[in-house]
Amino acid sequence: MRPMKVVCYVLDVRCFASDYYFWLDKLPEERRAKSLRFVQEKDRLLSLGGGLLIEAFVGHGKYRYGEFGKPYKKHRPSFSLSHSGTYCFLAVASNEVGADIQRIENKDQRMVAYCFDEEERTRIKSQEDFFSAWSEKEALGKYFGFGIKDPKKTPVRPLTDDKVLFEGKTCYVAHGRFEDYVFAVASGEPIKLGIEPVDLEKIKKLVL
């Protein structure tokens, strides 16, 4: 099977801190309202940055929603948005895709027991392993559109280096690392991954 190209755009949203309302005005009304609902500045910036990435690399148009609430745009590429720390992460592909990014930090061991079943826990030897496994599970939940509500009841079973069994279905997952972050991208077909850091100048060229 020929791999599907997935381009992942990575953006540090702190670049919008001094001109938040200027950039907010460049978003569709729905995304503007969503960003303004957040109380914390960091959350507002992440919501803003995610919306700008979608406008720049997916395209304009009305948001639509799948059965479980996953957003998409009609006649536009498939996309999946995630954020962690100060970064937004947008995966764009020709077919359905799910993506997640996680900042590597200290995590209480009780979270390992909460998030993973006994078999999954045998593969977690470090903090990076934890966040890599969690981003994989989140990406798979986003690929299917239903997210992860009870993580221990949705285990991931590796089949090969890039193939897993999840919810009774065979899926493909690609992993990567960016600075102090790990990420995962999931799909129903093999993945050819591309990473593209995005800065303020690129957003200006594509959105303004």
Please give the Cα distance from 206 to 58 (Å, whole number). Answer: 11
CATH 3.90.470.20 fits 4-207, yes or no: yes
170 three-class SS: strand
pLDDT value of position 107: 80
Identify the CA nearest to 180 among candidates 134, 126, 128: 128
Q: Is the dihedral of CA 157, 179, 196, 35 positive or negative?
A: positive
Condensed to tens digits (0 to 9), the pLDDT of residues 29-63 reads 999 999 999 999 999 999 999 999 999 999 998 99
Please name the helix (run of DSSP H) or strand (run of DSSP E) that holds residue 157, with its range, or none.
strand 156-158
Identify the CA nearest to 91 among candidates 102, 79, 74: 79
pLDDT value of position 109: 82
21 three-class SS: helix
Hey, where are the domains in the chain? 4-207
- pLDDT score of 98 more than 90: yes
Q: Is the pTM of this model over 0.85?
A: yes
Please give the Cα distance from 186 to 82 (Å, whole number). Answer: 13
